[in-house]
């Protein structure tokens, strides 16, 4: 049986199918239709007959009191209004209160911000878009709905493990404002792999973040969020070198409080004028006291069920587990709206984007659509989601439908800016509606997918 599994994994490597490495709770039924073995070949047929949610496990931070940090934000600008904040720090039972003065600035349409430039303000109406819309400039970061590219780096032609069609620079040009990805400690560095570096390896985190940083340099009025999935639960110190060497450290936002609730976040214009326009979250093992620019995700944001395997997409809190409704209301939240297919063989779990359903999953309306889930979540929580996580953001009931949904959540008119002109990955079409037949021929190392 071990030999069979070895050949199975080698066959998966040939097609680079994603194999789940995290501990999960799952109820997936697979049926082996037939197994025949000879000295030269073995054919195994696996059918997915039912599947339920995959639940990742990990440690979660909780805070019984907040920690207030010194604000290190400098701005060179003409002051148009004053924001006064009272910071309370509790150290060894001693309370220290400090009052700081900040500026909220009206952006003009002609200014280019650099670390040495002097910004000027216009007394008239703002004409400079922030993250694509002038309306966003004076909104808090926590009061904007952004589209998230799930597994942003995994772009590979004719590969069923891919989650996106365009590289990260194109994603950002099209309007993606959060990028998420699995990161693995591999060969003494951090690599972006889905989900094993032996199966699909898209290179180092440093190289990927360099592309993000270059785009930020070229687009001085944009705020981007990076969500790191710490797949191997390694110490966050392993991520500091890629962030620093890529140059992203120059833009990394450091919050003034741990944890930040929805009312604590600055406006986009404040972040832009401070040139701290990259918010970096990590799902597990983050330590903000030691590394303040890598933010702990789940103490400041919650998520709906991870990697949904059915189109019902409930708007319930899955991670972090056990928080109250009142606690959830104080945090930002992300809806996971990437429909998957899961196959399990010999305890190996395979998650594959259900690309056949993208025209419905990423649609503006209808059962199973992103629009319906976003509206349901807004009704349930009395505020829109902050992040809409999707696969193949460019596909839907029309190109850019996911951005139409985000615009509706933000109460702005969609600017129609989507999607890139060339793609780096085709979308192998798989569907779980009637079941998926996986045919593996060991002798020829060939894998084919057929629809039942």
List all residues 6 or more positions away from 295 whose beta carbon is below 8 Å from its beta carbon. 255, 260, 279, 280, 281, 282, 286, 288
Q: H or E element: which one contains 58? A: none
Distance between CA atoms of residues 337 and 359, nearest Å: 13
Active-site residue, 337 included: no
Checking DSSP bridges between strand 436-441 and strand 42-50, what pairing results, if any?
antiparallel
Residue with tokens 């594959």: 352
Checking DSSP bridges between strand 348-353 and strand 146-149, what pairing results, if any?
unpaired
C-beta separation of 26 from 55 below 8 A: yes
Catalytically annotated residue among 111, 184, 194, 257: 194
CA 230 centroid distance within chain: 12
Closest CA to 133 of 448, 412, 451: 412
Q: What is the Cβ-side half-sphere exposure of residue 395, based on CA atoms within 13 angstroms?
A: 22
Distances (CA, A) of 274 to 113, 261, 279, 318: 9, 20, 13, 34
Angle between helices 370-381 and 401-410 (to 10 degrees): 20
Active-site residue, 194 included: yes
Distance between CA atoms of residues 16 and 24, nearest Å: 21
Helix (H, G, I), strand (E, B) or coil at 316: coil
Judged on CB neighbours under 10 Å (0-12, 13-18, 19+), 210 is middle
Closest CA to 93 of 65, 61, 74, 119: 65
Query: Edge to edge, what strands does the sheet with 348-353 contain?
Result: 19-20, 348-353, 340-345
C-beta separation of 295 from 281 below 8 A: yes
- Bridge partners of residue 82, in order along the sequence: 103
Residue with tokens 């878009």: 129
Sign of CA dihedral 166, 172, 174, 177: positive
Catalytically annotated residue among 75, 150, 257, 276: 150
Active site residues: 150, 194
């Amino acid at each position: 049986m071990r030999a069979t599994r070895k050949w199975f994994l080698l066959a998966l490597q040939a097609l680079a199918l994603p194999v789940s490495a995290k501990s999960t709770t799952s109820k997936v039924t697979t049926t082996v239709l037939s197994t025949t073995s000879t000295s030269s070949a073995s054919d195994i047929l696996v059918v997915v007959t039912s599947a339920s949610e995959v639940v990742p496990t990990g440690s979660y931070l909780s805070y019984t009191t907040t920690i207030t940090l010194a604000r290190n934000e400098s701005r060179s600008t003409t002051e148009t209004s004053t924001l006064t904040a009272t910071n309370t720090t509790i150290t060894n039972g001693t309370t220290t209160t400090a009052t700081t003065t900040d500026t909220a600035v009206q952006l003009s349409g002609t200014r280019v911000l650099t670390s040495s430039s002097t910004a000027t303000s216009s007394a008239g109406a703002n004409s400079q878009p922030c993250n694509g819309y002038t309306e966003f400039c004076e909104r808090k970061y926590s009061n904007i709905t952004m589209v998230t590219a799930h597994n942003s780096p995994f772009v590979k032609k004719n590969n069923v493990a891919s989650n996106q069609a365009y590289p990260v620079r194109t994603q950002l040009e099209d309007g993606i404002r959060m990028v998420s990805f699995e990161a693995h400690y591999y060969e003494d560095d951090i690599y972006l792999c889905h989900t094993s570096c032996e199966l699909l390896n898209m290179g180092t985190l440093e190289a990927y973040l360099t592309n993000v940083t270059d785009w930020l340099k070229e687009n001085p009025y944009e705020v981007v969020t990076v969500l790191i999935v710490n797949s191997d639960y390694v110490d966050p110190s392993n991520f500091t070198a890629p962030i620093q060497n890529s140059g992203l450290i120059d833009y990394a936002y450091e919050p003034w409080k741990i944890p930040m609730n929805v009312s604590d976040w600055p406006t986009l214009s404040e972040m832009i004028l401070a040139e701290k326009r990259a918010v970096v979250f990590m799902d597990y093992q983050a330590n903000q006291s030691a590394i303040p620019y890598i933010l702990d995700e789940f103490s400041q944001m919650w998520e709906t069920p991870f990697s949904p395997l059915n189109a019902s997409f409930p708007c319930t809190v899955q991670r972090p587990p056990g928080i109250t409704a009142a606690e959830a209301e104080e945090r930002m939240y992300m809806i996971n709206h990437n429909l998957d297919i899961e196959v399990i063989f010999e305890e190996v779990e395979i998650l594959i984007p259900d690309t056949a359903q993208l025209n419905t999953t990423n649609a503006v309306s209808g059962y199973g659509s992103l629009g319906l889930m976003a509206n349901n979540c807004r009704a349930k929580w009395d505020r829109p989601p902050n992040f809409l996580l999707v696969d193949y953001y460019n596909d839907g009931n029309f190109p850019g439908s996911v951005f139409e949904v985000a615009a509706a959540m933000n109460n702005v008119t969609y600017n129609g800016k989507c999607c890139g002109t060339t793609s780096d990955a085709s979308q192998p079409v798989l569907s779980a509606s009637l079941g998926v037949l996986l045919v593996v021929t060991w002798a020829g190392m060939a894998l084919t997918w057929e629809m039942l």
